[in-house]
Structure 1
């Protein structure tokens, strides 16, 4: 049921063209490696120059306790449209009271999962809050998001938070603790908390936000001061206003703008 619901949700999301160098190739390599265990999810629509090579691929790694388990997709970062699913632990472990902390979080911290930049933990309202807090404390990631997108933790870095990873070297996400703009001593990680999963969102997350919104947030939040942030925002709004006038007068062709690209 969960996998079917996940596939339905992915189909409603527009396919974005992969922008990171080599991501399409790594996606294709993983699809070949997993064979029938890899399923491409065809979205209802595409954006820009997106092709079949940009469609999300769901990969079934299997159960970690099984002999046939293949966790390569958890160790190698495609940096593209690849989503790997792994069942951590056996049935007995999944029913234990300390499953989140002792089994799931421990596995996420191990070398079986490459990278420790950030992670998201989604739990229902029925979950034991004490067990959830123990799991959050156990997770060794630069940013831990509860029922939320970990990217909100990156925004928190503007107010002294940290979103960096723990190790300072090695081929893993992040390089040391970074993003601590105010130099708060002994920062370990940033924790962001979202509303319960049953909360109706104020914004339809199935549709990408307007480019002006994301560009405006980028211009304001990346500024070194409030005054400069407001100045950058005014410049951005003025530039977009001029652009719209030129587009309306047909003196300028509409540019091909990717979602989230500040321009």
Structure 2
């Protein structure tokens, strides 16, 4: 089955207002930036996003966030996006913060058809007891919606908390290579949350830096089989090369000898 779409716009055209989305990436590494931009142009609003974080101001999911198009986020990290923090603290955005490993497993579980699982992460904290602020009242200050308490259970004299698997209406991911049947290969740190997000989406859309024909990928190299992917978008060379990072750090030793009087 050829799953290639002619453009990113065509691939996201039917994402409706209020849809839930699992989005791959970690910071700006491996984010499906072209699909996010196409979704921004498409106009869907009231989106419920599941992603490790919301990009940065002006890039990645930060573009949708800045225009008030995201209503709820399930994620692990806020720190690189000032607008994300502002909307959350002012009561404009609902945010469910989840331990990072737990979020990864919730996505994987959802994609594998596992409804729930027990984990020791969060036991003895508000993650298990409840009371984490999901939404503040307008203007901030007081909690309007708090997390509920979660079921706990002891196994072999250790307490675990029950976490539910996550499935979403759509998933947006980015891969290094992919074939027309949706088989994907991720490269280095860009693997991050991409395979897990792809598994969780009922309709998964993948942008690929290099599109190949079926049979070109060694089966042992495939990280995500095509059964999890419904649509493929081939990036242009310029789109594939446009990769940003949050911060550029240069060691002192790398700058020695570069200063001139």
The structure with the largest strand share of the pair is 2
**Would you call these one fold, judging by a TM-score over 0.5?**
no
Q: TM-score, normalised by structure 1?
A: 0.25
TM-score, length basis structure 2 = 0.26
**Which structure's residues are more often helix, by fraction?**
1
Q: RCO higher in 1 or 2 (8 Å CA, sep ≥ 6)?
A: 2
